[in-house]
Copies of this chain bind each other. A is one copy, B any other.
Amino acid sequence: MERKASRVTGGTATVVEIGGIRIGHDPFPVIAGPCAVESEEQMLASAHAVADAGAAILRAGAYKPSTTPYGFRGLGRDGVKLLAAAGAEVGLPVLTQVLEAKDAEETVDQVDALEIGSGSMQDFELLRVVGRLGKPVLLRRGASATLDEWLWAAEYLLAEGNENVVLVERGVRSFGGGGSDMLDITAVPHLKELTHLPVIVDPSHAAGDAIRVQPLALAAQGVGADGVIVEVHSSPSTAKTVGPQLDADSFILLMASLGIHRLRGDIDQVDHQIVRLLARRQNLALEIGRVKANRGLPIYMPDREAELMVMIEKEAERTGIDPGHVRALFQLVLSESRRQQQIMRAAEEA
């Protein structure tokens, strides 16, 4: 049987839009927020923290699954309202996990997407109801689900006519993993072959500790995931739930390491990178200079420089900046490079 979730050869990948954010298209959107909505103050503080650092979507839990019957079960409806209000205040779309069909029905109008948790991946009635609601859905993998079982669960949503499904890898049960479920990073390229649906990674649970969230998020970016979900709390040490959550500062560092910055920080960052690249270029040029010296070649090689200029101007045109401006810049760069090589030759001959 042909499944709707299957990737068709030559077919296009699905882009899921959540409040203007396009999962599967935008460069590595980060979904962030606290594990649970605990209070208006905590929700707002956490929302500002993630928005300021460049998160694309705000996420927090109002209906919480609890392993024990005596644990915190979330603020429910009231939690959803606080989440929606916080999203409005910081200008981010919002999403939240639903456990039961009735949660989904009472929540759907207040959020930009719904999330189905790991423990509900095969709650087929919930899948059917959420499929019919039509809102974008994040579908987490069950802790021991095979990729095939996961894609069948997605098929339940697609079969109801809902094509806006994002798969979330969050780790699978294993003897390893240092006490946590083990992040199945290999699932990402496998899914890219099997399905047209976007795939994101939630590293928090598998990380076991906040300190490991950043390397795992970078692994997810490296492996080609379409984004990550990160749990961020304005005050992790006082949180009502036990999983690892980043504080605001750690989240900023994570975002920086992922190459995501807000405007002002961005331009500073880019300038830093330009300078570092110029330095690297100079070292490479000096190294080539040494080779030229050994072989008795001249420092100035007009053909090579001309060739370089052609290449650079083409790249400038391609990326949309003024070729003349870039040419001027690189003439400066090349002239400095020749000057450094002369200094070097002189030093070696001395």
Contact = CB atoms under 8 A, between A and B. Distances in A.
A267 interface: yes
Interface residues of A, number: 102
B271 A281 contact: yes
A69 B223 contact: no
Contacts of A186: 171, 177-178, 180, 182-183, 206-208, 212, 216
Interface of A: 1, 65-70, 99-100, 119-120, 122-125, 127-128, 142-144, 146-147, 149, 152, 155-156, 159, 171-178, 180, 182-190, 193, 206-208, 211-212, 215-216, 218-224, 263-264, 266-268, 270-285, 287-288, 291, 308, 311-312, 315-316, 319-322, 325-326, 328-330, 332-333, 336, 340
A328 to B, nearest CB: 6
Contacts of A320: 279, 282-283
A151 B322 CA distance: 56
14 contacts: A68-B155, A99-B124, A100-B125, A144-B172, A147-B178, A172-B175, A186-B206, A186-B208, A189-B211, A190-B212, A219-B222, A263-B287, A270-B281, A275-B321
A147 B125 contact: no
A290 to B, nearest CB: 10
B223 A216 contact: yes
A184 B223 CA distance: 13
A301 to B, nearest CB: 12
Contacts of A208: 186
Given A123-B123, A325-B332, A275 B175 contact: no
Number of copies: 4
A190 B177 CA distance: 9
Contact of A1 (B70, B193, B264, B280): B70
A285 B267 contact: yes
A216 B281 CA distance: 29
A255 to B, nearest CB: 14
Contact of A271 (B66, B69, B176, B312): B312
Contacts of A128: 69
B316 A67 contact: no
B152 A67 contact: yes
B190 A182 contact: no
Contacts of A149: 67
Contacts of A68: 152, 155
A27 to B, nearest CB: 11
A186 B291 CA distance: 42
Q: Which 7 A-B pairs have the closest CB atoms?
A: A222-B222, A144-B144, A218-B222, A279-B319, A219-B223, A144-B173, A219-B219
B277 A277 contact: yes
B321 A278 contact: yes
A163 to B, nearest CB: 14
B122 A65 contact: yes
A284 B312 contact: no
Contacts of A272: 315
A280 B120 CA distance: 42
A34 to B, nearest CB: 21
Given A122-B65, A124-B69, A189-B212, A274 B263 contact: no
Contact of A175 (B174, B291, B333): B174
A288 B155 CA distance: 44
